[in-house]
Amino acid sequence: MTDMPDGPPKPKRTWIWIVVGIFVFLCVLAIGGVIFTASWLGSHVEIVEAPAPDAAKSFDEVRTKFPDQRPLIEFHDSGRGTITTNPATTASSTRLTTLHIMAFDDDEGKLVRVDVPFWLLRLKSGPIAFSSWASGFDDERARLRVEDIERRGPGIVIDLTQAGEGRVLIWAE
């Protein structure tokens, strides 16, 4: 008696291994993305406890780098809040590398510094809405494109102080 299979041969299920392989690849990619993001944030974001006089000194040190320069965007608190932009009259030849953000919260007494590489900003399409940091201000006029900041060159983008809230200073180098 010979061994004969019962019925047609069973199909190979290679698609299962393909799906499992893709799933494992996506999991490894997601874990790598989380590790990269945590590493990047750890090296570009600094949060420290600081009394108000020390924070003010940090802001003044930055302002002395750009003497007599008006910020690219100025916020004026007059009821609803208005904004003045000071665009560049001539294009700067200096290539910007970093957008620095320094913020101090009066309530918590914390000074936050964030350094954003300009190559990352150049990936953004559309304007940057700075007014979301300053509630009550006209959202349309506080929008800048990365090209606007680059045209102006190194200098202060925003210097905003809100009584009882804190201060935000954004500058490009």
Question: 150, 129, 154: which is closest to 69 by C-alpha?
Answer: 154
CA 157 to chain centre: 14
Banded pLDDT at 41 (limits 50, 70, 90): confident
74 pLDDT more than 70: yes
Question: 78, 110, 113, 116: which is closest to 96 by C-alpha?
Answer: 116
Task: Give the span between the Cα atoms of 27 and 171, in whole angstroms.
Answer: 38
3-state secondary structure of 65: coil
pTM attached to this predicted model: 0.72
Per-residue pLDDT tens for 105-161? 988 999 999 998 888 888 887 787 765 554 555 455 566 788 888 888 899 988 888
pLDDT top residue among 155 and 12: 155
